[in-house]
Amino acid sequence: MWLEYGLSSAQGLVHISEVVRGRTALGCPYCACPLIAKKGVKVSHHFAHDGLTCKPVRRTRDLPTLPWFDSFTFHLAPRLWATLQAFQSDCSYDAHWLTTTGLIAYNSFMRRHELTKLGQIPFGLLSVNLFSRLHEERLATIHDRMEARVTRAWQAGDPVALDEAVTDLRLYRAQWQRVLRSSLYCLAIKTPSERFYKIGVTSRPIAERVAELQPALNPHVGTATITVLGVWPQRGHVERYAHFRHQAQRRTLGSFQEYFDFLDVKAVVRDLNRMPKKVLTALEQGVLDGAPSVVVQAMAAGQDSTRSHTQ
């Protein structure tokens, strides 16, 4: 259920949000099998094979998905997650295990173990600003591992492993590009009887997004005044963590999940404002531009050189 991109001969990778529900003209990026767009209300929108699901898509580990995006327990093993929860609840826990995994550290001044920044994330305790810094580092680290996997398969001359590794890398970069193109925003929504808030992302000017929200809100709350409290370009990667961090204050409007009854909206905006203006690294700029990764470019150059030599 993780496959969010289908392959078009004309458009390349196409996101699930760009197609309607049902059978599509897209193929699986791994095996080219026709895809069906699954867009229900209970499960995240995804593509399914119109036939037998291929092995790369059936797997449950080492998925080419962004880390810390849909799950903030980092896919911890159940026992490790239970141990971390025991620590947080002041119950008996394995301090050595949690320390070696980087989830807790000993504070010699306070003479006790404390959650590290990494350990705070599964409980939504880390600020959005600090989460953003850690997440950017992790995005690049995972990308480097995926490039190394491509290199190993290429050097080993294994075409099956190489094809899967390259497809994984392309899907990962497509997801990363999507969040880099998105701006995080926070809105205040005022009706004659109440005031609540929305945290979301958009790849369009914020004025267009606000204009689109007006009619969508009307059936639920009637006439509303929308005020933009902040916009943070190229910070789409933190939206879901912000939702997770503030889930206790979430309110539901129909099928919409991005609205909140913040008790202290100034503190929320202050945390978001601590994120510095985004300065793209060379890797991020390449991802945003849709350029092939360094290793894929090297492979193409090698193939071209071989082709020229043989000719």
Asked if the structure places residue 103 within a domain, the reply is yes
pLDDT digits (tens, 9 = 90+) for 180-215: 999 999 999 999 999 999 999 999 999 999 999 989
- Kindly tell me the burial class for residue 236, based on how many C-beta atoms sit within 10 Å of its own C-beta (0-12, 13-18, 19 or more): buried
In a domain, 1, yes or no: yes
Q: Is residue 34 part of a domain?
A: yes
- Classify strands 183-190 and 112-115 as parallel, antiparallel or unpaired: unpaired
* Cβ-Cβ contacts under 8 Å for 90 (sequence gap 6 or more): none
Query: Could you tell me if 260 and 216 are in contact, meaning their C-beta atoms sit under 8 angstroms apart?
Result: no
Residue 137 domain-assigned (yes or no): no
Q: Do residue 14 and residue 96 come from a single domain?
A: no
Residues 260 and 199 in one domain: yes
pLDDT, residue 184, reads: 98
Structure confidence at residue 134 as a pLDDT band (50, 70, 90): very high
**Do 53 and 111 belong to one domain?**
no
**Does some domain include residue 259?**
yes
Say yes or no: 188 and 225 in one domain.
yes
Same domain, 190 and 220: yes
pLDDT tens digits along 216-230: 898 899 889 999 999
Any domain includes 7: yes
* Residues 156-188 pLDDT 10s: 999 999 999 999 999 999 999 999 999 999 999
124-149 average pLDDT score: 96
C-alpha dist (Å) from residue 89 to 100, 114, 115, 269: 20, 12, 12, 29
Average pLDDT estimate for 5-29? 95
Position 296 pLDDT exceeds 70:
yes
- Domain match, 256 and 218 both: yes
What is the reported pLDDT for 3?
96
Q: Give the DSSP letter of residue 292.
A: P
Give the rounded distance of the alpha carbon of 192 from its chain centre.
Answer: 36
Q: Is there a domain that residue 21 lies in?
A: yes
How many CB atoms neighbour CB 303 within 10 A?
10
Give the structural domain span for 15: 1-61
In the chain, the amino acid numbered 179 is: V
Q: Identify the H or E element spanning 104.
A: strand 104-107
The confidence band for 303, taking pLDDT boundaries of 50, 70 and 90, is low
Domain contains 302: no
Q: Are residues 243 and 212 in the same domain?
A: yes
Same domain (yes/no): 31, 83: no
| Domains in the chain, number | 3
